[in-house]
Amino acid sequence: MPEITSWEQEEVDRANASGRTPVVFVHGLWLLSSSWKPWRELFESSGYTTLAPGWPDDPLTVEEARENPDAFAHKMVQQVTDHYLAAIEKLDLQPVVIGHSFGGLIAQKIAGTGAAAVTVAIDNAPFKGVLPVPLSSIKSAAPVLGNPANRGKAIALTFEQFTYGWANNLEEDEAQKLYDEFHVPASGVPLFQAVVANFNPFHNEVTVDVKNPDRGPLLVIGGAEDNTVPLSITKATFKQQEKNPGVTEFLEIPGRGHSLTIDHGWAAVAQEALAFVDRFAPQPE
């Protein structure tokens, strides 16, 4: 099992010491774990303890990330999943897992192992068996997929690309603020892994065990105006996950794009996730 960092171990220790149900947040491409700060504060105030590990070798701050973009290169889906599982294995209580974008895919991979008590996947990247490939999704991924050499690189989006893929439903001032505050380079590998998932007849890393009876309750959330992960992808995800005997629910958030976890309307999305978690999360004795 991969090693977690000292600061991640401190978060695990804090969660264990609290005696509360832990909530693990999983970020996706072009963000750092710090992007979950408002969500963590909401869940902490609601009686949970939280932790937000990074992807392996993630810089700690946006400034460091932009100064050292190569730190993001070569990150692969299973490598990142194993890193989160290593942190979860150290928890005393089975956690809730909440992920966005590729973090939403990874959250479902974690759930498929039986390691999550409850899972919320928000605008998740597609996995094998999720067939729609909308044009807007192709355009959003084009800055990476347009050049095969990007598979081994870390790629930053231009503001124009970020606006189309993430902030298409926002005013330009807010889009610029989010870009300046949150955007970091991202590994090209996961996008290449996702795009070939349905053409690989063998097991690949972008695979989710949707039938494991120990998966636990799952909520799939889709932003209705998301260009990066259009609603057709999240609806197809829900149909795949409905094969599970456990509780599987879908929630459409009208008028929201891919930035729905970090923009001005984050709290409305977080409250929906919290309501689902409150319904199903085990409460410590």
**pLDDT for 166-209, tens place per residue?**
999 999 999 999 999 999 999 988 888 877 666 666 668 889 99
Write down the pLDDT at residue 191: 86
Instruction: Check pLDDT > 90 for residue 211.
Output: yes
Instruction: Check pLDDT > 80 for residue 29.
Output: yes
Write down the pLDDT at residue 42: 98
pLDDT digits (tens, 9 = 90+) for 64-115: 999 999 999 989 999 999 999 999 999 999 999 999 999 999 999 999 999 9
pLDDT digits (tens, 9 = 90+) for 235-260: 999 999 999 999 999 999 999 999 99
Instruction: Check pLDDT > 70 for residue 268.
Output: yes
Give me the percent of the chain exceeding a pLDDT of 90: 81
Answer whether 78's CB lies under 8 Å from 85's CB. no
- Domain definitions of the chain by residue range: 6-278
Write down the pLDDT at residue 214: 97
Give me the percent of the chain exceeding a pLDDT of 70: 96
Write down the pLDDT at residue 200: 66
**Which residue from 70, 91, 82 is spatially nearest to 24, judged by alpha carbons?**
91
Instruction: Check pLDDT > 90 for residue 272.
Output: yes
Distance CA 66, CA 71 (A): 10
**Alpha carbon 151 to its chain's center:** 20
Give the residue with greater pLDDT, 92 vs 152: 92
Could you please state the CATH topology (level 3) that the domain comprising 6-278 is classified under. Answer: Rossmann fold (3.40.50)
The tokens of 96 are what? 């809730």
Write down the pLDDT at residue 192: 83
**What is the reported pTM?**
0.95
Tell me the average pLDDT of the chain. Answer: 94
**Which residue from 100, 98, 101, 93 is spatially nearest to 110, judged by alpha carbons?**
98
Kindly state the greatest CA–CA separation across the chain.
53
